[in-house]
A = this chain, B = another copy of it.
Amino acid sequence: MAEKKKVHATKAHEMAESHKEISVSEFFAKNRHLLGFDSPRKALLMAVKEAVDNSLDACEEARILPDLYIELKQIKEGRFRVVVEDNGPGIIKEQIPKIFGKLLYGGKFHRLRCSRGQQGIGISAVLLYGQLTTGKGMYITSRVGPKHNSNYYELHIDTKKNDPIVDKEQVVDWNKEHGTRIEVELEGQYQKGKQSVDEYIKEIALINPHANVIYKTPLNETMNFPRGVNELPKEAKEIKPHPYGVELGILMRMLQGTDTTTLSNFLSTEFCRVSPKVASEICEKAKLSPRAKPKMVVRDEAEKLYDSIQSTKIIAPPTDCLSPLGEEALLKGLKKEVDAEFYCVITRPPTVYRGNPFQIEIALAYGGGLEADGAVKIMRFANRVPLLYQQGACSSAEAIIDTIWRNYGLSQSKGNLPQGPVALVVHMVSVWVPFTSEAKEAIAHYPEIVKEMKLALQDAGRKMSSYIRKTVKAREQRERVNLFEKYIPELANSLSVLTGEKPDIIEENLNKVLKKGMKDLLAVAEKAEETKIKGDNVAFGEKQDTLGEFEDGD
C-alpha cells in the first residue's frame, strides 16, 4: 500500500516535468488548420485573402480608392510565390516587423468598428505558414509617402517566442508614392473553380466595386476588374462598447483600467449611450455613490453595478457605424453573378448581439438558369469579405435549414438545406463579426444573429412563394388549359358517339365550361406574364421592422 502511494506521488511529479508554456506561434504552427491552412489549395487562397483584407482595410481607413495588384507565380511543383501590392497608406518602418512577424499584434483588436481584419493574426499567419512549408520568410516593401523612404524587409518568426526575426532590412527604390507590397513563398495548389483564388477575387471585386483589381494567375492570364464606382464606402465609425454587451469580468477590468475618477464619469465616458442622467440612475439602483472612485469598486459592488445596468433602460447602440451594401448594390451584384427569373433583396434593420451592432442583408434569386436539382446555392459575406469555406458551420446554414421552406414552395427534408432553383446571399455587417475560427470562415451561432437571418429569409421566402404562386403556377395552369383545349374536338367526338348529341354542340359547351372556370385564373396568369415582361420581378423588403410578425420555423 505504501508502495502504491509512493507511485502516485511520483507520477504527479513525473507528469509535472513535461508541463511547459507554449507560445501562440507554436500553437498555431501545430494547429495551422485553425487559421485556414489545412490544405495546399486553401493555403494559397488564405495567403491572398489575408493580404487583400489588410490592403482594403488600410486603403479605406486612409480614404484612398484601392488599386490592388495580385500575382501568383508557380516556382516548382506544389510551390508558389504570392505577391500582393496596394496603394494604401503604407506602414511606418518600426511597425513592419511586428505587424508581419508576430501573431496577435495589430490595431483592430480593441476597437469596435466595421473592418475586415480584427484579430491581428491573419498576415503573420501567412508568414508562419510560408516559413513552415518552405523555410523562407516574407519580403515586405512599404512606403508612407513620397517624402519618405521605401523600406524593404525580409522577416521570419521565432515561433518559440512569437517574435519577428529581421533577416534583412534596407532602403530601396520604388516607383510608388505610397503603398505596401508583400511577397511570400509557400506550399500551395492552384486550381480553378469552386473555392478557388479566382472565384475569391471575382467575389471580392463584386462586393468591393470601389476597388480596382488586377490579378495575374499562375497560368499567366491577367484578369482586370476595373473600379465600378469612384466613391469609397461610407467611412466606418468606431464606437464605444454598449453597457449591455459588457460582462461582469470585463466591467471589473474596465473599472481597474480607467482614467476617469468618478463612477458616474466612468459610465458616461467609457460606454456609448450612457448620459450622466442614465449613469446616476445606474449608480442609484446599485446603491453606489456616483462620486465613488472606479478603482475602489470591489467585486460585489461591481456585480451590483452590473445587475443595475441590466435592469436600466439604455437605448440601443448607434447603428450609423454600420455600412451595409444596400439593396441596389446587392441586387446588382447578385444579377451579375446569377442568371435567374426572380430576384429579391431584404435588408433587416440594424440590431444588437452582446452589445455589438450588426445588420443582416439577404438576397434571393429563383428560377431561370439556376439548377433545379439539389440543394440551394449559398453565397456568404461578412463585412464585404466572401466566405468560401465551412458553410455547414455557419449560423447562416442553421438559419436556412431551420426556415420551413415547404411553406414557400420548395421541397426540404428535416435537418437539410431546401432543394430547388434558388441562390441565397447572406451578408452580415458588424463592428465585431463573431467567427467560429481564426480562419474567419463561418459566423458563430449567436441566437440574435440566427434570428435576424431567419426573419430575413422568411421574408424573402414569402416573396418568392408569392411569385411562384402568381407566375409559375399560373403559367403551368395555362399550359394545362391550352393542352385541354387542343383535345376538346376529339373529346367532343367521343362524347357524341356515347350520347348521340352533335359533336359541335358538345364542343361549344366544353369550351364554355373551360372559359368560365378558367377565366379568373387566366387573368392572373396574363397579369403575371406582363409583370415579368415589364421587369417588375424584383421585390424589395419593406423598411419597417417585421420582428415577431412571423412565427414559422421556431
Which of A18-26, A211-219, A477-485 faces chain B? A18-26
Determine if A247 and B132 form an interchain contact, defined as CB atoms under 8 angstroms apart. Answer: yes
Interface residues of A in 56-90 (CB under 8 A from B): 58, 61-62, 64, 89-90
In the bound complex, what is the Cα–Cα distance between A12 and B442 (angstroms)?
31
Q: Is A451 an interface residue (CB 8 A)?
A: no
Q: Is A92 an interface residue (CB 8 A)?
A: yes
Interface residues of A in 22-75 (CB under 8 A from B): 22-24, 26-27, 29-31, 33-34, 38-39, 58, 61-62, 64
Q: Is A472 an interface residue (CB 8 A)?
A: no
Which of A2-10, A462-470, A501-509 faces chain B? A2-10
Which of A337-345, A357-365, A410-418, A512-520 faces chain B? A410-418
Report how many copies the assembly holds: 2
The residue on B at minimum CB distance from A90 is: B12
In the bound complex, what is the Cα–Cα distance between A38 and B302 (angstroms)?
23
Q: Is A351 an interface residue (CB 8 A)?
A: no
Chain B residues near A444: list those with CB within 8 A.
33, 38
Q: Taking the nearest CB of chain B, how far is it from the CB of A180, in angstroms?
A: 10
In the bound complex, what is the Cα–Cα distance between A276 and B119 (angstroms)?
46
Which one of B31, B177, B435 lies within 8 Å of A5 (CB-CB)? B177
Q: Taking the nearest CB of chain B, how far is it from the CB of A486, in angstroms?
A: 35
Q: Is A250 an interface residue (CB 8 A)?
A: yes
Chain B residues near A106: list those with CB within 8 A.
19-20, 22
Interface residues of A in 126-155 (CB under 8 A from B): 131-136, 144-148
Determine if B446 and A9 form an interchain contact, defined as CB atoms under 8 angstroms apart. Answer: no
Q: Taking the nearest CB of chain B, how far is it from the CB of A144, in angstroms?
A: 4
In the bound complex, what is the Cα–Cα distance between A7 and B89 (angstroms)?
9
The residue on B at minimum CB distance from A129 is: B249
Q: Is A107 an interface residue (CB 8 A)?
A: yes
Chain B residues near A91: list those with CB within 8 A.
12, 16
Chain B residues near A20: list those with CB within 8 A.
105-107, 109-110
The residue on B at minimum CB distance from A238 is: B18
Q: Taking the nearest CB of chain B, how far is it from the CB of A23, in angstroms?
A: 7
**A-B contact list, 12 entries, CB within 8 Å:** A5-B145, A9-B90, A15-B58, A15-B62, A16-B95, A19-B106, A21-B98, A33-B444, A131-B249, A132-B247, A374-B413, A392-B392
